[in-house]
Structure 1
Amino acid sequence: MNENEVKELLNRYRSGIATDEDKALLESWYLNFEEAGAEGLSMEERLRAVDAAWQFLDKENTLVSKIKTWQRVAAAASVLVFLSIGTYFLINNKATSIVDTAHLANTKFDIAPGNNKASLTMANGRVLNLSKSQSGVVISAAKIAYNDGSKVDTAENHNTTAAEQLTLATPKGGTYQLLLPDGTKVWLNAASSITFPSTFAGLSQRRVELKGEAYFEVAKNKALPFRVSSPGQVVEVLGTHFDINTYADEPAAKTTLLEGSINLNNTILKPGQQAKVTANGISVTNADIDETMGWKNNYIVFEDEKIESVMRKIARWYNVEVVYEGEKPTDDFGGRLSRAAYVSQVLKKLELTNKVHFKVAGRRIIVTK
């Protein structure tokens, strides 16, 4: 098959309309790439064909470890191995592993993924442990209820017209949703907290405080601006969708705008932009929405990131401690992993890049090169 025929097959496969015959032809092309599939194609054309595979095949459960030496690039340019659709191949200057979770070997070190887990601290200091069988809470001056309408059992005395400060907090390995009194929706990531008033009635603004990471869909109210305070920054909106990542162990606070407009420390963001705030000021770039929203869509997504950055995401979601032994891996990693997978499955996929290895002791992950 020539390159155009290969791309057409890939297009049909990606669109879900490939026949059994199409799939057989595609698999045959992969299996015979060097001997037959690449016949008559220049090296550049070969790389384009393989790149087409990367563009069309589903990115779910993929791992990428960038290899920066010319020898590795040359090897990547001349080798293509196909075990099953999307199992393993090399493209351009990337060594890419695509692994089906079901094929991974189980280990005795499995740590379950995070789940719905949070606590709600009342104005009087009382802490309510919220149900793990529920996904979120609805706050109003009259009551506190779960998303399905059932009342939070231990909040029966909550009934006030005065604004009281409440705090919803998730531990490592926890996530929860929140519906504020004004209709604003909040998704709270692991190891995060949000402090907010029980009612916005009688207030001049809708102000909340965030630590960690949350995604907001703010209800529109031009007369009552919505402000999110977090360390080193204040985000002001009227009604919009955005994500704020202010984890203390990250090098910068990141605010990503998906819809509408926001004012961050007097800097206006447009949809698709991300602002990074450090001690040196604010920088605005085009956002990687897939990476930013990965956690909300139940994925761990990373693109051109060092292993330390990847492991911080894993540590928060799986509630584990990460330590490094010896020399740290220096390669850049990129990929998408399901947050529903057990930690052994996630680590095994990373190890398949041959750029990093792990040992697990209890809830401690030891990282080696």
Structure 2
Amino acid sequence: MSMEKKDIKKVLDKVSAGTATPQEEQAAKYWLHYFSKDDIPELSEDELNQETEAIYKSLMKEKVPVKVNRLWYPAVAAACLLMVVGAGLFYYRQHNPEVKQVTAANIVPNDVAPAKNTATLTLADGKKITLADAPIGLIAEQRNVSIFKTADGKLIYKSKPLKASETTFLDNPELNIISTAKGQQYQVILPDGSKIWLNAASSFTFPATFVSLKQRKVELTGEAYFEVAKDKSHPFIVKTDKQEVEVLGTHFNVNSYSDEEAIKTTLLEGSVKVSNSNEQKILRPGQESLLAKSSLVIRNADTQEAVAWKNGDFIFNNEDFGSILRQVARWYNVEIIDNGNHENLHLSGTVSRSKNISAVLKALEITGKVKFMIDGNRVIVAK
């Protein structure tokens, strides 16, 4: 979602000039306090200083120094960005004045924090390592590979030279597994340089090293985003329970949760071959395949929506309500009980995955179609 710089400035000028409606000011206050984004349009430093000071004075009714801390800039620009483009999204509050503003006075009891950056690593010998507890630096060594944890919480595999006496190892590579529970996510960099982002409730099985292997074959359950290092002589193959995706070097996302109706493969760059037991098809950038009931269908994709989870957002584009609930349940590790009849309900909108679950639920409630109640580790759909 993007805007021209001139559009951002129009909204800044409108609010700072005092011509904004009370609803617009309330919406701006909400987004200024609760949301910040990294993908905002660029303004010059002087423009940011001037506009930030003006809008902050207008909204917060306080004196601020001429020099404003740069940490405010993304929040202010994001507030205006969301205020303009949010009219069509379900969470835009100024069209729903009956909805309460979120304040310290109505903090939700039993609120649930978002997913943590951790996973469980299972080595070839069966040893399990909880990555949140692992030290920074070298955490394990296997034949021909060293495994490191970085300061920013990634796992990196580095191959070592293969010894002549270990040629039999080539036909029987040691397999490692990284698995995330609900409420967890993680990233791993394979020995060939390929980068893998693992979503919640997912499992990724791969050779500890690709040295002298003819194929770079891995297995996935759940969801992962892949940035595969180019190597024309060694195809990279992602196997799920019902399909295989073969690539040489590209960026793509695979959603293969067992509780979803279809396996979805979305291509951002390069090309991939998707195949099942009956057929195979080639994907081009901007396309995705859906495998359901042994039928493989190709269609145009909303790539931003497909990888929103990896970029820190929920993006729903006319999304089935049941699918939304499953995504929320996996991310926050909660049980969601839907007692209503929402078979035909579809919603659209965007909300940050870095917020507590109450922020997501309130966004959904603004549609007027549903209500939620948090009961311990359960979320009950009351309407």
After TM superposition, the score normalised by the length of structure 1 is 0.73
> For structure 1, which segment, 189-198 or 141-150, has the greater mean C-alpha deviation from structure 2 after superposition?
141-150
Question: Counterpart of 1:355 in 2: which secondary structure?
Answer: coil
Secondary structure of 1:346's match?
A: helix
Are the equivalent residues in 2 in contact too, given 1:217–1:241 (CA < 8 A)? yes
Q: CA deviation at 1:24?
A: 4.0
Question: Who is 1:259 aligned against?
Answer: 269
Equivalent of 2:337, from 299, 312, 323?
Answer: 323
* Identical amino acids, percent of aligned pairs: 39
Distance 2:288 2:183 in 1: 26
CA drift of 1:360 comes to: 1.8
Equivalent pairs counted in the alignment come to 309
Aligned equivalent of 1:68: none
Residues 214-293 of structure 1 aligned to structure 2 (within 5 Å): 214-265=224-275, 266-293=280-307
Q: Map 1:52-63; keep pairs closer than 5 Å.
A: 57-59=84-86, 62-63=89-90
Say if 1:87 and 1:179 are closer, same or farther in 2 by CA, change over 3 A: same
2:20 aligns with 27
The 1-side partners of 2:98 and 2:249 are apart by 41
Partner of 1:37: none
Check 1:102–1:138 CA distance in 2 against 1; reply closer, same or farther (3 A cut). Answer: farther
Would you say the 8 A contact 1:235–1:262 is kept in 2? yes
Relative contact order higher in (CA < 8 Å, ≥ 6 apart) = 1
Question: Counterpart in 1 of 2:382?
Answer: 368
Question: How do 1:102-141 and structure 2 match up within 5 A?
Answer: 105-131=106-132, 141=144
Distance 1:216-1:11 versus aligned 2 partners, 3 A rule: closer
CA–CA distance in 1 between the matches of 2:90 and 2:105?
Answer: 14
Query: In structure 2, how many angstroms separate the alpha carbons of the residues matched to 1:271 and 1:98?
Result: 41
Deviation string 1:17-41 (CA, Å, 9 cap, x unpaired) is 655357547625988xxxxxxxxxx
Secondary structure at the counterpart of residue 190 of structure 1 = coil
3-state DSSP of counterpart to 1:328: coil
For the structure 1 residues 98 and 302, does the alpha-carbon distance in structure 2 shift closer, same or farther, using more than 3 Å as the test? farther
Q: Deviation of residue 251 (structure 1)?
A: 0.3
Equivalent position amino acid for 1:146 in 2? K
CA-to-partner distance for each residue in 1:142-180, whole Å, 9 max, x for gaps? 31101349998xx9xx99864210000111010000000
d(CA) in 1 for partners of 2:105 and 2:303? 29
Does the CA-based 8 Å contact 2:154-2:187 persist in structure 1?
no
Q: 1:139 to 1:274 in 2, by over 3 A?
A: farther
Q: Which runs of 5+ in 1 are unaligned?
A: 1-9, 32-52, 65-85, 91-95
Tell me what 1:147 maps to: 150
What is the distance in 1 between the residues matched to 2:135 and 2:266?
28
Q: Among residues 78, 84, 93, which one is paired with 1:87 in the alignment?
A: 93
**1:280 Cα deviation after fit:** 3.9
Question: SS of the residue aligned with 2:329?
Answer: helix
Tell me the residue number matched to 1:343.
Answer: 357
Q: Structure 1 150/15 Cα, relative in aligned 2: closer, same or farther at 3 Å?
A: closer
Does the 8 A contact of 1:216 with 1:242 survive in 2? yes
TM-score, length basis structure 2: 0.71
Match of 1:179 among 168, 180, 189: 189
Counterpart residue type for residue 57 of structure 1: V
Give the deviation of 1:364 after TM superposition. Answer: 1.0
Corresponding residue number in structure 2 for 1:197: 207
- Aligned position for 1:188: 198
User: Would the aligned equivalents of 1:116 and 1:132 in 2 still touch at CA under 8 Å?
Assistant: no
Once residues 333 and 139 of structure 1 are traced to their aligned partners in structure 2, the CA distance between those partners, rounded to angstroms, is 47
For residues 27 and 256 of structure 1, what CA distance do their matches in structure 2 show? 41
Give the Cα separation in 1 of the matches to 2:161 and 2:269. Answer: 34
Q: Does 1:165 align with 2:175?
A: yes
Tell me, yes or no, if the aligned pair for 2:336 and 2:380 is still in contact at 8 Å.
yes
CA distance in structure 1 between the partners assigned to 2:257 and 2:341 by the alignment: 25
Change (3 A) 1:353 1:17: closer
Check whether the contact 1:14–1:56 (CA below 8 A) recurs between aligned residues. Answer: no
